[in-house]
Chains A and B, each alone.
Chain A
Amino acid sequence: MKLLRYLFYRLLQMFPIALFIVVINFALIHMAPGDVSILLAGEGADPEYMEQVRERYGLNLPLYQQLGAYIGQLLQGDLGLSFRTREPVIGIIAERIPATLLLAGTALVLASVLGVAIGAVMARRPGSALDTAVTTLSISLFSIPVFWLGLMLILLFAVTLRWLPSSGMASIAGPREGIGYALDVARHMVLPVLSLAAIWLGQYVRLSRAAVSETLAEPYVTTARAIGFPERRVMTRFALRNAMLPIVTVLGLELGLLLTGAVLTETVFSWPGLGRLIYEAILSRDTPVIMGAFLIMSFTVMLAALLTDLVYAALDPRVRL
């Protein structure tokens, strides 16, 4: 019951923030130079037709009325129609989400699991030459521009060695279902996942190295050793378990950052995901798609933050929701 109330309260909190984001985006888009109706009417349309188009899309109304109409429509769960393709925005976005989830999710799992493991191992020998080398290397990793790393991987593995495809999510004439399809997608995923994961890996190594070495210095670890627990158990049950707390927090909070990496990677690898959709929508001034995607993304980040807090609470009995 208490949890439900907490959830309700947290979900309720999201709405003013979402409203804030909608208003900011709306203001930005409408303050900017350029006329969306030209995009809608098509190049070279006569002024009469443009006027018709403005009317049809409500672009002739005063801004506050347009905003009001948009918010009213949002409240009914309708994100409107894309200016460019005239399809429902919600469908366009929904279509792109799985691709981004697949790409970013795989990279995230890979980077976090590997990163936490490497970081934990490094935390066992803090200050050693290996630790310094790995720290320096991981800092260098997350200093690499992700799009550039992607290009270099394409250059090496797709252009020069011809081992892997350089773009897209599946082969055009490949199998459309079953294990064959999965393998085909997997082949296409290797390079984009690798470039995203490499950069995130650096972050998680650093994060985990700091968190684990912090917990290894905690008295309860000394207690565990005095009790005689084998070192591996000390590491997992005591050090890692407690180090997960800061790691989980950062993981959850960085979801937005994650999408940033995704847009650039999706561009390099022509991955049909959400990030690329937003980029294309921004370039083509597809206002409903931009607004809808920002909204969905912000909700995702907010939900991730909520989920993080829930996971944190589950991991740390000291936290009460």
Chain B
Amino acid sequence: MTPTLTKTLRGTLRSVPGALSLVVLAIITAAALLAPVLGLPDPAEMEFALYQPPSAEHWLGTDNFGRDIFARVVWGARVALMVAIGAALLSILIGSVLGAVAGYFGGWVDGLLSRVFDIFLLIPTFFLILLIVALFGASLPLTIIAIALTTWPRSARLMRSQVLTLKSRVYVQAALAAGAPHWLVILRHVIPNGIAPIITDGTILMGMAILTEAGLSFLGLGDQNLVSWGGMIFEGQRHLRLAPWMSIAPGVALLLLVASLNLLGDSITFAMNPQLRTRGGAPKKRPTVAPPANEPAATTDTPILEVEDLRLVYSVGARRIAAVDGVSFTLRRGEALGIVGESGCGKSSLGSALLQTMPNNAALTGGTIRYDGRAIVLDGKGVVEKGRARIDALRWTRIATIFQSAMNALNPVTTVRRQMTDALRLHRPGITRAEATARIGEVFGLIGIPRSRMNAYPHQLSGGMRQRAMIALSLILEPELVIADEPTTALDMLIQDQILGEIADLRARLNLSLILVSHDMGAVAESCDVVAVMYAGRIVEIAPTRQIFDNPAHPYTRTLIGALPSLTGPLEELESLPATDSAAVAAAQGCRFAHACPAATDLCRAKVPPAVPLGDGHISECHYATSFAAEPREVRA
């Protein structure tokens, strides 16, 4: 808890609004606490000239009874903070306990309490507070209680959902097993662990409480014996023309305090989940370059895709992470290349670089990509011809992708047919509705989806069907190259096999070129001609499929193959792969794999291994590649 707390605090302080709001809060709190000893005039004493505008003597002027407004604003901070703290604490107390009880016991208790929470959502709470205060006499304690009584369901809902996730935790179960009574478990284990988000919400609750009290006071229902900002505005309203300063100062104070609380809550939330602030966004403008002067015309021998020394760097805060760190390969027309590696090795980043769909915090820092002999990316910059990026001309008509997890890769609110029609219309503007439907039907037939499912929404399809729909979408414009990024990850084994089989089959029938990105050697083995193994941002070994399975020339490849899961083998072995921190590895000297390599030597740790050609397009980046290649793989039992 404590390290998270300091981290959160540091994160909060680092953001400008967060730091600013803490400063404002500190000033207001100090003013409120020190009000009696600041040497201010008595805020209730009617001793000065009436309606004095702000001056050196009365910084904020005087009011209709000749009271010093600055003194009243300072004293008003006490009421605001009392309301904020009192109402928030009480509300959280009631809410946490009831929410914990509801979540903890479940069943009818939960049903009943949840119903009550719902009803409170439906009652215009401000009016209820207004009614209570108007009926029972306006006083600060009553106002605080009324606010708490109407806002507790907010904390209760939060606590309930926290408890639902907490109650299955080991320590809770352990405490119960040890015979602790329910209430003790709730108090000792459940509430303290679920309170963090509720406390964050508390800052917002405090802001709400202050505004509610101010609203009541403004309607003439504030505590009559205390100075409150809302009450000052209530009085000021009647003298707006004569003495506008009477209403201005307390309003500014209210705004500052409430805004600080809200900004603080906001900053804490962001400090706890930093990605919330920067995720998403539109693609940013990237550096471009004109096409090279003398590009040789493509011939039938020209590879469909050439990648040379490609580099992609992520910026996370101040850190730079080289996710793709000098990758080169060539894909011939009709060929299938598998790119394999564990998660975090940079294979998906490579995929996004090929399509130029990288997230905004990723940038190409170097390298060239050529499609059909024409450069799309030159020295890390997108090639623009006649005002249009070359890649844009290729999208979907020449290069298409199949994304992992089709559930999220298809737009959930439009039908499959609509999505495909849109893609068709975009690239073939003249196409009629009937033609589009015919084409979709054709592709569906190709993939083996019943035409009747055309009008389904993605969520109405089974996992396998959905993935097939994604494939259909990728094929709708008859591309030459398909980049499939983990197309089967989310599916169960049987369907995985089916889909991979279908992809392989389609490739053959449509003469597609294919790049299959996967963490699964098995998947790649079945469908690819060439396999590239990626580790920490580099292709450490590339070879024709047979070759790489028979003569793996890199110890990492060997580990992968050793861990190759078969339908009979234990799945857990996947987890036995050494974890990699790309950044740490890239920063180290020598071979990237050295730290985890069973055969590493001092040479490995000192010197970056060269790319060792082993013939037949087999290349391995290992000091001992030749000796590994000579030594056939041991087959596990």
Interface positions of A (Cβ within 8 A of B):
17, 20-21, 25, 28-29, 31-34, 123-127, 132, 135-136, 139-140, 142-149, 151-152, 154-155, 159, 210, 212-220, 222-229, 231, 235, 237-238, 241-242, 253, 256-257, 259-260, 263-264, 267-268, 278-279, 282-283, 290, 294, 297-298, 301-302, 305, 315-318
B427 at the interface (CB under 8 A from A): yes
Q: Which residue of B207, B237, B282, B411 is within 8 Å of A151 (Cβ)?
A: B237
- Residue of B at shortest CB range from A160? B244
Q: Assuming A217-B280, A278-B127, is B122 touching A256 (CB within 8 A)?
A: yes
> Beyond A152-B248, A219-B403, A219-B405, is A260–B124 a contact (Cβ under 8 Å)?
yes
A223 with B403, Cβ < 8 A, contacts A139-B262, A228-B426, A242-B413 known: yes
B251 touches A (CB below 8 Å)? yes
Is the CB–CB distance between A151 and B123 below 8 Å?
no
Check if A318 sits within 8 Å of B457, measured CB to CB.
Answer: yes
A-B contact pairs, 10 of them (CB 8 A): A126-B277, A135-B266, A139-B266, A227-B426, A231-B282, A242-B413, A257-B126, A282-B130, A316-B412, A316-B413
B122 touches A301 (CB 8 A): yes
- Nearest residue, chain A, Cβ from B394: A228
**Chain B positions 252 through 266: 1 when the CB is less than 8 Å from some CB of chain A, otherwise 0:** 001100110111001
The answer for the CA separation of A223 and B411 in the assembled complex, in Å, is 9
Task: Specify which of B17, B135, B404, B457 lies most central, judged by the most chain A CB atoms within 10 Å of its CB.
Answer: B135
Query: Contacting B233 at CB < 8 Å: which of A147, A225, A227?
Result: A147
Query: Is the CB of B278 closer than 8 A to any CB of chain A?
Result: yes
Instruction: Check if A145 sits within 8 Å of B230, measured CB to CB.
Output: yes
Q: Which of B215, B410, B415 meets A223, CB within 8 Å? A: B410
Tell me if A143 and B281 are in contact (CB < 8 A).
no
- CB-CB under 8 A from B392, the residues of chain A are 228
Q: Which B residues are within 8 Å of any A CB, using their own CB?
A: 15-17, 119, 121-127, 130-132, 134-137, 207, 211, 214-215, 218-219, 230, 233, 236-237, 240-241, 244, 247-248, 250-251, 254-255, 258-259, 261-263, 266, 276-283, 352, 355, 357, 392, 395-396, 400-401, 403-405, 408-415, 422-423, 426-427, 457, 459-460, 473
Contact (Cβ within 8 A) B262 A142: yes
> Would A20 and B119 be within 8 Å (CB), given that A29-B135, A148-B247 are in contact?
yes
Q: Are A145 and B214 in contact (CB under 8 A)?
A: yes
Question: Whose C-beta in chain B lies nearest to the C-beta of A14?
Answer: B122
Interface of A is mostly: helix
Least CB distance from B370 to A in Å reads: 19
Contact A151/B247 with A259-B124, A260-B124 known, Cβ cut-off 8 Å? yes
Q: A145 to B254, Cβ gap below 8 A?
A: yes
For A17, A145, A214, A224, the residue with the greatest tally of chain B CB atoms inside 10 Å of its CB is: A145
Most buried by A among B124, B130, B357, B459: B124
Contact A159-B263, Cβ < 8 Å, known A123-B280, A216-B281, A318-B457:
no
The contact of A283 among B134, B137, B280, B352, by CB within 8 Å, is B134
Residue in chain B with minimal CB distance to A229? B426
A224 touches B134 (CB 8 A): no
Instruction: Specify the chain A residue showing the minimal Cβ separation from B248.
Output: A152
Please name the residue on chain B nearest to A25 by beta carbon.
Answer: B131
Q: Which residue of A lies closest to B220 (CB)?
A: A283
Question: Which B residue's beta carbon lies closest to that of A139?
Answer: B262
**Known contacts A123-B280, A151-B237; A220 and B410 CB within 8 A of each other:** yes
Q: A149-B251, A256-B124, A317-B459 are in contact. List 14 more A-B contacts (CB 8 A).
A: A126-B277, A127-B277, A145-B211, A147-B233, A148-B214, A210-B276, A220-B409, A223-B410, A229-B422, A257-B124, A257-B126, A297-B124, A302-B122, A318-B457
CA distance A123 to B258 in the complex (A): 25
Contact: B122 with A298, CB < 8 Å? yes
Determine whether the beta carbon of B119 is less than 8 Å from that of A227. no
Assuming the contacts A28-B132, A298-B124, A301-B122, asked whether A241 and B413 have C-beta atoms less than 8 A apart, the reply is yes
Which B residues are CB-close (under 8 A) to A298?
122-124
In the bound complex, residues from chain B placing their C-beta under 8 Å from that of A126 are: 277-281
Given contacts A238-B411, A298-B123, A301-B124, contact A155 B244 (CB under 8 A): yes
Q: Establish whether residues A139 and B426, one from each chain, have CB atoms under 8 Å apart when the complex forms.
A: no
Give complex CA distance A46, B395 in Å. 90
Most chain B CB inside 10 Å of its own CB: which residue of A217, A235, A278, A282: A282
**Structural contact, A228 and B396, CB atoms closer than 8 A:** yes
| Least CB separation from A294: chain B residue | B127
Instruction: List chain B residues, Cβ under 8 A from A229.
Output: 422, 426
Q: A155-B240, A298-B122 are in contact. Are A228 and B459 (CB under 8 A)?
A: no
A215–B459 Cα distance when bound, in Å, is: 17
Closest to B392 in A: A228
Closest to A220 in B: B411
* Smallest beta-carbon distance A183→chain B, Å: 26
Complex Cα–Cα for A248 and B125 (A): 21
Q: Output the nearest chain B residue to A304 by Cβ-Cβ distance.
A: B122
With a CB–CB cut-off of 8 A, which chain B residues contact A217? 279-280
Contacts of A228 in B (CB 8 A): 392, 395-396, 426-427
A226 with B401: CB separation less than 8 A: yes
Q: Which 9 A-B pairs have the closest CB atoms?
A: A216-B280, A228-B395, A32-B135, A213-B280, A148-B251, A143-B259, A260-B126, A124-B282, A143-B258
Q: Indicate if the CB atoms of A317 and B278 lie closer than 8 Å.
A: no
In Å, the complex CA distance between A140 and B266 comes to 12
In the bound assembly, the distance between CA atoms of A152 and B66 in angstroms comes to 22
Asked if A318 and B459 make an inter-chain contact with CB atoms under 8 angstroms apart, the answer reads yes
Contact of B357 among A142, A151, A222, A238 (CB under 8 A): A222
In the assembled complex, the Cα of A227 lies from the Cα of B130 at a distance in Å of: 56
A226 in contact with B218 given A241-B413, A317-B457 (CB within 8 Å): no
